[in-house]
Amino acid sequence: MRFKVWIAAVALVGVSACGATAEKGDSANTGSDKPVTGLRLMVPNTAGGGYDTTARVAAKVLDDAKIATGVQVFNLPGAGGTVGLQRTVNEKGNGKLALQMGLGVVGATYTSKSKATLTQTTPLAKLIEEAGAIVVPKDSPYRTIGDLVSAWKANPKSFAVGGGSSPGGPDHLLPMQLAQAVGIDPKQVNFISYDGGGELLPALLGNKIAFGASGFGEFLDQVASGQLRVLAVTSEQPVDALKDVPTLKGSGIDLVFTNWRGIVAPPEISAADKQLWIDALTRMHDSEQWKAELTKHGWTDAFVTGDAFGTFLAEQDKAVADVLTKLGLAA
């Protein structure tokens, strides 16, 4: 079974704040050596998760590479990311605001019955892909993915499974796919949703869940310090950041799963502001600083911009809607 970023067919059952306005002459910075100013990047879930990490790394690289200075990253969590999405859609024409998002927000628009949709936004860039990971606390009795699966199959409902996304997001779809792959009825999965990795992490550290399913990059510090153990990653091949951790496929489980993250802007921004963002993100992507961050976090470069990203978003939207309808989570 293969579950890549475009989502293969799945057979499963059942703060109010004013937007920043462009300073006179800012749009003219496009293509020049003068750093862009006044950009704001919204994270639609809590601090410490994958979106938050990606946004703050992007802001730091933009600053370090003198592409943009003073990029403000702020969090507006709620409803799986759709509170932030609604704010973005409401900021029509605001060319200095953008939303850090990904597959989880796509799914949340359906499961949260959001009035705002990603098709209303202005696509800027897809940045990265990231493998998922099956993570347990340091004192977990499960030393291998085989140990965990055997115990899980024996009594699925007794296993609390945590993910840093709402139903329909990648951290929900991953354990559902894993359950199906190992012969567990997905309807038996006891899934607990957390609003981002910032909330999932303390649940893992506090032994409130049997295992977590999320992007492995969110836990590298805790893995390095011995607080958490990764039993398996969901990529096709082992990842450099976790050289000794097997893949699910290498452990005899036929599943590959990859998440992605990108950036969108509000509707109806000017062509100049859209190009300003795309140019800045392209320069960021091409920088040595960004390449170093990709290696540090174990992210896979998946950079596409503008219309190409828009086409990808439309495909994702349809594919996720189809999957969630089969799950009974979308009409």
**Where do the domains of the chain lie?**
37-128+260-327, 130-251
How many Cα neighbours within 13 Å face the side chain of 184? 24
Measured distance CA(35)–CA(188) in Å, rounded: 53
Q: What is the pLDDT of residue 53?
A: 93
5-9, 41-45, 78-82: lowest mean pLDDT where? 5-9
pLDDT at 300 over 90: yes
Class of domain 37-128+260-327: alpha beta
pLDDT band at 15 (very low <50, low <70, confident <90, very high): very low
- Average pLDDT, whole number, for the chain? 89
Q: How far is CA 294 from the centre of its chain?
A: 15
pLDDT at 94 over 50: yes
Q: What is the pLDDT of residue 1?
A: 53
Q: What is the pLDDT of residue 325?
A: 82
37-128+260-327 and 130-251: same fold? yes
Fold of 130-251: D-Maltodextrin-Binding Protein; domain 2 (3.40.190)
pLDDT at 152 over 90: yes
Question: Which pTM value belongs to this model?
Answer: 0.81
Cβ pair 55, 101 in contact under 8 A: no
Measured distance CA(193)–CA(164) in Å, rounded: 6
DSSP label of 68: E
17-21, 134-138, 208-212, 280-284: lowest mean pLDDT where? 17-21
Parallel, antiparallel, or unpaired for β 72-75 and 190-193? unpaired
